[in-house]
Amino acid sequence: MNKAIFLDRDGIINHDPGDYTKHISEFTILPDLWPALKELQERGYLLILITNQGGIAKGLYGHEEVAEIHHYFLQEAEKNGVSITEIYYSPHHDDYGKSLSRKPGSLMIERGLAKFNIDPKKSYMIGDKQRDCDAGEKAGVQGVLIPTNDTLKKYLDLIA
């Protein structure tokens, strides 16, 4: 079986401005991200992005803007020698209807576990909010909570 690092997006991958990242112009990759992801990749982890995008349900931006941001992110990852296995996002928001895919629901993580034959016991969910860790733990994946907009590289020793 494979092992994976499931990563929240806003606040872990890119700077979280405190509300929504609505446009690619607001998407700023955090310092030291690429060396951190490269190290995790070299340790044998698949890298899977797991992100709530409730701004879609609120009408603040659309699937097109999310696709543009994710396309840019994948291009930058490739330029930096990092392979992103998959990106899952939930366009739902609790104010507009419940969804099992929205964190703290675990459906996005469960999809990744099944699709890529991942052992949850050897995997981690890294996020900056408790709901990220809760989503991982519901799927049997250990959560790692780090401060919003901090550099991921500082926390790699928490991952076996």
- CA–CA separation, 82 vs 106, rounded Å? 25
Name the nearest CA neighbour of 49 among 1, 85, 103, 91.
85
The number of CA neighbours under 13 Å toward the Cβ of 83 is: 8
The number of CA neighbours under 13 Å toward the Cβ of 73 is: 28
Q: Which residues are catalytic?
A: 8, 10
In this structure, what DSSP letter does residue 7 have?
Answer: E
